[in-house]
Amino acid sequence: MDSRESLKTVLDDILEYSPKINASGEWILNELDVECICIGAGILGCGGGGNPRIGKHRALEALKYGKLIRVISPERCARSMSETSLVIPVAFMGDPSVLKEKLNNSGSETCDAISALLDIYCHGARCHKTDIQSNRTGVRYIDDYKPNGLTELKPGSTGDIVALMAVEIGGVNSTEPLISGAELNIPVVDCDGMGRAFPELQMYTPTIYGLPCYPATLADDKGQRAVIIEATSPKHVEDHLRGVCVTMGSLAGFANTPLRKEDVLHKTVQHSTSRAWRLGHAVLKARAQKKDAFQAILDCENGKCLSK
């Protein structure tokens, strides 16, 4: 049974469906879960963040090839984290519409950005002192970062990285950690940095709570990597990386500053992936029952219709 047939089967059983939780307390996603999350992410995006459809197809492709997409609660993730454990927030940066145009993109951009971040986090600042440049706003950066080869990132070998999370839950970036997590065989934490989609990095919740916005990395589909070593403000990081992103074809995988246990618990928007799922499930359930999907959204969120 392929992913499309499997999705049709679970849609037929939408009224009785409940998510699968394994013995470790991880939520194991199937095709219907991905569908629900993407519908909900479109709603939470409030028109921003791009259409989740392309990310949905990439996530379904991962499931088709037998990869596991796992989601873990922030509380359970924190209990499993040591003092050195890291959670990496990931996303695509740039114009989401480029995803539709770049039919030959490698699909590894975000994993490459994670690899560069782990590399620079562990070794890079020491090994690349002569490559670091500074601009007039005080951003210290390497726009063509060459990995040291000292840190290998592959499924089952991710160093101190224990999980990923979404930079934003709205739009296409709702699925990017799911896809990268499946590729690296690590779970995704049920939280994000905004609770919806947002246009610029200085609006990111951990940053608002005072966490630094560096190191951070970009990677394109041709092997180029860019690294922020240090910056004086989140806005300067945003402006610098946006300029680099344009040179990468207006689309790049992005890995943000690693989070520690307390950051995950207290400086992120909690349970946002499952919130997107509930919204999407409410819409699909309303369709199956031939009820008003708009009203189902209001009921799910305790919302109120202001105008029709």
Please state the separation of Cα 234 from the chain's center in Å: 19
- The CATH code of the domain that includes 257 is 3.40.1610.10
Work out the average pLDDT over 185-195. 96
Q: Is residue 181 a contact partner of residue 152, using CB atoms and an 8 Å limit?
A: no
- Asked if residue 248 belongs to a domain, the reply is yes
- Residue 86 belongs to domain spanning: 3-301
Check: pTM over 0.85? Answer yes or no: yes
- Asked if residue 307 belongs to a domain, the reply is no
Work out the average pLDDT over 62-83. 95
Work out the average pLDDT over 139-155. 76
- Asked if residue 103 belongs to a domain, the reply is yes
- Asked if residue 37 belongs to a domain, the reply is yes
- Asked if residue 306 belongs to a domain, the reply is no
Assigned token pair, 188: 């995704």
| pLDDT bracket for residue 22 (50, 70, 90) | very high
Number of domains in the chain: 1
Q: Is it the case that residue 184 has pLDDT exceeding 60?
A: yes
Burial level of 103, CB count in 10 A (0-12/13-18/19+)? exposed
- Asked if residue 223 belongs to a domain, the reply is yes
Reported as a single tens digit per residue, the pLDDT across 99-127 is 777 655 557 899 999 999 988 877 665 55
In sequence order, what are the residues at sequence separation of 6 or more whose Cβ sits closer than 8 angstroms to the Cβ of residue 3?
Answer: 31, 60, 61, 63, 64
What is the reported pLDDT for 187? 97
Q: Is residue 191 a contact partner of residue 165, using CB atoms and an 8 Å limit?
A: yes
- Asked if residue 292 belongs to a domain, the reply is yes
- Asked if residue 308 belongs to a domain, the reply is no
